[in-house]
Amino acid sequence: MMNLLQILQNFVKRSGLRSMAGPVLIVMILAMMVLPLPPFLLDMLFTFNISVAVMVLLVSMNTTKPLDFVSFPTVLLITTLLRLSLNVASTRVVLLEGHTGPAAAGKVIESFGHFLVGGNYAVGIVVFLILVVINFVVITKGAGRIAEVGARFTLDAMPGKQMAIDADLNAGLIGEDEARRRRATVAQEAEFYGAMDGASKFVRGDAVAGIMILGINLVGGFVVGVMQHNLDIATAARNYTLLTIGDGLVAQIPALIISTAAGMVVSRVASEQDIGQQLAKQLFNQPQVLILTATIVGMMGLIPGMPHFAFLFLAAVMGWLAYYLLKNPVVEEVKEEVVAPTEMPVLESTEASWEDVSQVDVLGLEVGYRMISLVDKAQDGDLLRRIKGLRKKFTQDVGFLPPPMHIRDNLDLRPNAYRITLKGAEVGTGEAYPNLFLAINPGNVSGTLPGNQTRDPAFGLPAVWVDAAMREPAQNMGYTVVDAGTVVATHISHLIHTHSAELLGRQELQQLLDHLGKISPKLTEDLVPKLLPMATLQKVLQNLLDEGMHIRDMRTILETLAEYAPNTQDAQQLTSMVRMALGPAIVQQLYPSAQELQVIGMDKELEYVLAQALQAGGGSAIEPGLANTLLREARAAVQTQEQMGLPTVLLVPGHIRDLLARFLKRALPQLKVISHDEVPGFKTVRVTSTVGGRA
């Protein structure tokens, strides 16, 4: 026998019949609505329906937390559909064969219609309506409300639970696998309560359908019995009413059981004990309460006219239970003391290893807890998608793939604050409000807006956070209106372009060379490391990026370096040679479609003084007095150029370009310095302002 069972189990596993059980069950339930069923098969199906309801109730009572019965919403839907299908099948049999007597629809319906209500159809109707009211008004409505509130609170608590998990992970209390499991549990819990909220509506609809089916069957059966089978009114009323009541009770009792199970699942608080253990421990484990209850019940039993035996017997039982608990108070405490030492090894810490060493993220984004919705896909946060788009756009514009950005929450930040880090150091910070819009003032708006005054975190322009209702009026006033995700994404884009030189590490450079090696293998093989070390090549590319240039034209860059590397290994000199080769691209980047270059020139006398100072200082420093004069004059020229709406580009001789570019970058980052050698011959130059003065 055991061998036969094992053979059947192996056959089920290999044939995949287990996965077919669900579809087959649904098809059979739907078939019952169409195909006529004999009374014997109806008895089997009604019995199966009651058995399933009792089984679901017992399973729900033996769960320790709601997620132990995570398939309950689906079970609720299937059992509801099964009851409705049986109602349709039994109604067909009742109306076709009801004239033959109360046994026309099978023994189960006859038993419920005759024995449970004593053959009195008036009593049957009352009992049926009471069951429907209990199911619909009390149990189903309460369970649905609990599921609705549970779903709402679970969704609201998700960010806090996720941050608690991250806090435990960062503190080393749990590992990555445990954190991943807890996050999945939190998400599954929210989905479960949401599904229960919707599934409870099916049960309420089933109760309403039961009342309507009862009325339809009563009227339809009476008409069929009198008009088609020529029964007298009393006989027709008795036969069809008892059959209808029996049919309704057979459906409503399992529905009541399933609704009770739903209420138990959603109303319980998760613990390590099932419902029976919780009730025994929390309700019947307090002797003081039992003594007081026994006293009250005993006094009620002494009142004349009361059933003395019932009250006094129950008071005696409660008194004995209270006496037993008072006499044996340490049973559970001893059990806890025995169990406690077995839990101690969990607290032992493992030995430190190299796996515990964590590297600093090259690019990082830390957010406050109110900004989690921007980076959470479950809450329709699109910031992750935008960051992926920013990396792709950066790669296309600059010429290499930046490191990925790691995002995490930070409880030390303000709720709506975020921080952008580069190699662990903060390079940018700001605040964003997920439910508001940032109206940025570009300088020509026609009015003011109510809201939280601030500045655009990327470019420092005046701005104000406004409600969604003010978005269109703000745009009509000339404001640039963007959402919170766009604010953060724009700030990130600005910073990664500004710090592109620092993002080009050795790993990124190697990946770039590997990519170029697939296209021009000979070019990369001849240069690195035969003619030029990797570190020097990295420094040259970083110099170009540091001045706002792209490195998309790697062919020209590598060919130039291959030409001049045998003569010098100095990164600054090689950078100057590369800039000369990239001159047309540099000018094109600064003047996209202009044939005439309107630039800032330099006074000849100041050029001569700078050249002499460079020779005297070794080419790396400017005398303080001359530096103040140069900075003052350059700032005035930049202001003049900006007032005319022209690019702020300073044109100088090649031998002083590098020093001036490094000196002026910190004070005037918008000023670009190019040399005469970088201007292509087909472009004309016109000096619109001058940096001049006496040293």
Give the E-state strand segments of 392-455 in sequence order: 405-409, 417-422, 425-431, 437-440, 452-455
Q: What is the pLDDT of residue 234?
A: 73
512 in the same domain as 383: no
Tracing tokens 């293998």 back to the chain, one arrives at 521
Residues 379 and 489 in one domain: yes
Specify whether 661 is located in the same domain as 683.
yes
Q: What is the C-alpha radius of gyration for the chain, rounded to an integer number of angstroms?
A: 41
Q: Are residues 228 and 95 in the same domain?
A: yes
Domain presence at residue 379:
yes
Question: Which pLDDT score, from 0 to 100, does residue 381 have?
Answer: 74
Q: Same domain for 223 and 320?
A: no
Domain stop point among 501, 527, 559: 501
Q: Which residue among 501, 531, 565 closes a domain?
A: 501
Return the pLDDT at 363: 93
Report the alpha-carbon distance of residue 373 to residue 364 in Å, rounded: 17
pLDDT of 447: 87
Residue 158 forms part of a structural domain:
no
- Does residue 102 fall inside a structural domain? yes
Whether residues 394 and 299 fall in one domain: no
Are both 608 and 686 inside the same structural domain? yes
Domain, as residue range, for 304: 280-327
Statement to judge: residues 474 and 534 lie in one domain: no
User: Is residue 431 domain-resident?
Assistant: yes
Question: Is the domain of 537 the same as that of 409?
Answer: no
Burial class (CB within 10 angstroms; exposed 0-12, middle 13-18, buried 19+) of 502: middle
**Helix axis angle, 654-667 relative to 624-643, nearest 10°?**
80
562 part of a folded domain: yes
Average pLDDT of every residue of the chain: 79
Half-sphere exposure of 78 (CA within 13 A, CB side): 17
Look at residue 339 in the predicted model and tell me its pLDDT. Answer: 39
Domain of 447, CATH number, reads 3.40.30.60
**Which string of b and e fits 419-457 if b means at least 16 CB within 10 Å?**
bbbbeeeebbebbbbbebbbbbbeeebeeebebeebebb
The terminus-to-terminus CA distance of the chain in angstroms comes to 109
pLDDT of residue 17: 55
643 and 576 in a single domain? The answer is: no
Cβ neighbors of 651 (< 8 A, separation 6 or more) are 597, 599, 600, 601, 602, 674, 675, 676, 679, 685, 687
- Residues 435, 322 within the same domain: no
- Domain end, chosen from 269, 302, 319, is at 269
pLDDT (0 to 100) of residue 495: 94
CATH code of the domain in which 538 resides: 1.10.8.540
pTM above 0.75, yes or no: no
What pLDDT sits at residue 394?
93
Q: How many helices (H) and strands (E) does the chain have?
A: 27, 12
The reply to whether 427 falls in a domain is: yes
pLDDT per residue as tens digits for the range 264-297: 776 665 445 555 565 555 556 667 777 887 788 7
Order of strands across the sheet that contains 649-652: 672-675, 649-652, 596-602, 684-691
pLDDT score at 13: 52
The pLDDT value recorded for residue 580 is 94
The domain total for the chain is: 5
Residue found by looking up tokens 């110099």 in the block: 543
Residue 413 lies in a domain: yes
Mean pLDDT, the chain cut into blocks of 10 residues (695 residues total): 51 54 71 74 79 80 72 78 79 71 64 63 72 71 69 67 69 72 78 71 71 76 75 72 74 76 66 55 67 79 73 79 71 40 46 74 91 80 86 92 90 91 93 92 88 91 92 89 92 93 92 88 82 92 92 93 92 93 92 89 86 69 81 90 91 89 87 92 91 60
Give phi and psi for 607, each to the nearest 5: -60, -45
Distance between CA atoms of 487 and 19, rounded to whole angstroms? 49
Q: Based on the fold, state whether residues 577 and 601 are members of the same structural domain.
A: no
Residue 336 lies in a domain: no
The Cα–Cα gap between 346 and 557 comes to 59
Q: What is the CATH number of the domain that holds 609?
A: 3.40.50.12790
| Per-residue pLDDT, 537 | 93
What is the distance between the alpha carbons of residues 53 and 55, in angstroms, rounded to a whole number?
A: 5
